[in-house]
Amino acid sequence: MSKLQQKVALITGGSRGIGAGIAKRFAREGAIVAITYVNGKQKAEEIVREIEAAGGKALAIQADSANPVAVKNAVAVTVENFGRVDILVNNAGVAILKPLEDYTLEDFNQTIAVNVQAVFVASQEVIKNMPEGGRIINIGSAVAESVNSATQTLYALSKTALTGLTKGLARDLGGRKITVNLVQSGPVKTDMFVTADKALQDLLLGFMAVKEFGEVEEIASLVSWVASEDARYMTGASITIDGGLSV
């Protein structure tokens, strides 16, 4: 039997990149999958069709993670359709990269709203319908361990905040056997990243111990393990998978 058979998973930001990879991996492991998206309706529906074509169940929900009402609604829609949420993957994120003097207060608020507030709101809402033994998995970044280039101040701030949030949630929910863990990813070959500035890619490669970028499936595989019963005894942990970028 697949490791996530009949588990209900909600993955925020699941229409592309790492989120889409996690959604498809979970479905292959037997999970029922709900994903959220902001503007990528077509891509989200493609993910759903791909999962359904393979015999799985999936649902796409439009929800802007910067809006706490939308985040709560995404949880409610998942529960309405599938009865509960066994696994929450807080994957949605935003990276506003600018020189320090060019940041605005709006940039700060948007970064915190999506990368931190949404994680808190979704976690708080989902536990109302999460059974004993549930999983909350936050997707962070290796910049929480090492900031290797300029213009990442707000992004690094928000991803570092997830360390404390993860540990606090783990303490709060441990009595219910709900585990909360943080997966900190390094550079991965998503559509957005491979079209990014070549100079930035070369810079990051120079800092890495393994001189190549990760694959989406490698991150999804780790997240799938964290979501499984095999990871029952791990909570409050930060796991970095970054090719040695932060070594």
Assigned token pair, 233: 């005894």
User: Would you say 6 and 231 are in contact if contact means Cβ atoms under 8 Å apart?
Assistant: no
Per the annotation, the verdict on 155 as an active-site residue is: yes
Q: Which of 1, 31, 4, 7 is nearest to 131 (CA)?
A: 7
**Which of 201-230 are b and which e, b meaning 16 or more Cβ less than 10 Å from the residue's Cβ?**
eeebeebbeeeebbebbbbbbbbbebbbee
User: Would you say 154 and 111 are in contact if contact means Cβ atoms under 8 Å apart?
Assistant: yes
**CA–CA separation, 158 and 79 (whole Å):** 28
Distances (CA, A) of 107 to 31, 54, 77, 100, 146: 36, 40, 29, 11, 22
Active site residues per annotation: 155
